[in-house]
Amino acid sequence: MLSYVVLGIFVFLIISFMFVLFVELISSAADGEKRRKKLLEKQKERKIIAKRVQKYTDNYFDKYSRRL
């Protein structure tokens, strides 16, 4: 009888531990999704700020592609 009680407690602890891990997994996945969305929004804002008003001239890249 005592062995059934100990086994029941052990099984209960294992199930509760697995439940806690599952809840943590779900919450961390949700946090990661929120973080990803925030990063995408920030990157869009940065791209808008970083756009050049003037286009590059034809000889702009020539001075960097020349060998010394």
Does residue 68 lie in a domain region?
no
Count: domains in the chain: 1
Question: Does residue 64 belong to any structural domain of this protein?
Answer: no
Whether the predicted model's global pTM rises above the 0.85 cut: no
Which domain covers residue 20, as residue numbers? 2-51
How many Å from the N-terminal Cα to the C-terminal Cα in the chain?
Answer: 88
Which pLDDT belongs to residue 40?
Answer: 81
**Residue 13 falls inside a structural domain:** yes
Q: Does residue 20 fall inside a structural domain?
A: yes
Backbone angles phi, psi at 28, to 5 degrees: -70, -35
Query: Helix/strand/coil (H, E, C) string of the chain?
Result: CHHHHHHHHHHHHHHHHHHHHHHHHHHHHHHHHHHHHHHHHHHHHHHHHHCCCCCCCCCCCHHHHCCC
pLDDT of residue 12: 98
pLDDT at 60: 66
d(CA 28, CA 24): 6
Residue 65 lies in a domain: no
Q: What is the pLDDT of residues 7-66, one digit of tens each?
A: 999 999 999 999 999 999 888 888 888 888 888 887 776 666 556 556 666 666 666 666
